[in-house]
Amino acid sequence: MAEGAGGPCARFTGVFDSGVGGISVLRHLVRELPSEDFRFFGDSAHAPYGAKAPSEIYELSCAIADRMIADGAKALVIACNTATSAAAPQLRATYPDLPIVGVEPALKPAVLASGTGRILVMATEVTLALDKFHRLSDRWAEGTEVETVACNGLVERVERGNLDAPDVIELLESLIGPYRGKVDRVVLGCTHYPFVRRQIAQVLGDVRLFDGGAGTARQLRRLLGQGGLLCDEDRQGSVSFASSIDTPGELELYRRLFSQPC
């Protein structure tokens, strides 16, 4: 059962993204930690973050994090590769006692998975440009052939919610079609992209797809456990949604994406 006021279960984990993408991570969080309470915020009014200046992404991310912490969050998940790259170190420095989990492109598992071909990393312009990705690549991908593609326009199409629209496949064809037959592992380095994994596989054919959702959920479990912040396991957790586009239709889209299988 939930503890009384002030106990770990009186408080929630805040999860945020530039928009709907973080819901692909939230699904893993709820599957891994069904007794926890999660509050999701999608900044869809400002999406996409991935082509903005890092300083603007930092400001937007800090404003969301500050609000969630003021509302009583016991932990934060930055369910956005772009915001993690632009803001996670500074947020951890500002809130040293708060568990803050970020996401990063799942390059490590893709490298460690056996394969004979090259790896393709799909991500936003900012994620691919910032130091965090270069450090990740230097650490794990030395000696592995890695291609990167900034998928401009894809986040906007996922935000629209019509994932089977012809222009989704058309855009994917122009962005990643040239890699068909040339890569065997694909890293979905933006949390929006798991929502179009079927369409990505349709364009690329026989490839293995990697995303960071499950690893992020395990990391949150570890940090909550270390901090004595886990709720009792016999308790039923909850999920709530909020968006900077505060309309019933937008929140309906959030719930629809959340109900899709991981």
**Strand ranges in 81-176 using DSSP code E only, listed in sequence order:** 100-102, 118-123, 146-150
Contact 159, 44 (CB under 8 A): yes
Could you tell me the strand order of the sheet in which 146-150 lies? 146-150, 118-123, 183-188, 208-210
Question: Does the annotation mark 9 as catalytic?
Answer: no
Rounded to the nearest whole angstrom, what is the least distance from the CB of residue 168 to ligand DGL in the complex?
A: 15
Question: Does the annotation mark 80 as catalytic?
Answer: yes
Q: Which of 80, 151, 231, 262 is catalytic?
A: 80
Q: Which of 9, 151, 190, 231 is catalytic?
A: 190
- Nearer to ligand DGL by C-beta: 123 or 239? 123
- CA gap 14, 53 in Å, rounded: 24
Q: Does 17 bind ligand DGL (CB under 6 A)?
A: yes
Question: Residue 78: helix, strand or coil by DSSP?
Answer: strand
Of 13, 44, 61, 82, the one binding ligand DGL (CB under 6 A) is: 82
Q: Does 195 bind ligand DGL (CB under 6 A)?
A: no
Instruction: Identify residues 21-60 at the interface with ligand DGL (CB under 6 A).
Output: 21, 47-50
Residue keyed to tokens 């986040």: 155
Please count the other Cβ atoms lying within 10 Å of the Cβ belonging to residue 120: 25
Q: Which helix (H) or strand (E) holds 30?
A: helix 22-32
Q: Does 211 bind ligand DGL (CB under 6 A)?
A: no
- Nearer to ligand DGL by C-beta: 7 or 258? 258
Residue numbers annotated as active site: 80, 190
Where on the chain is the footprint of ligand DGL (CB under 6 A)? 17-19, 21, 47-50, 80-82, 124, 127, 155, 190-192
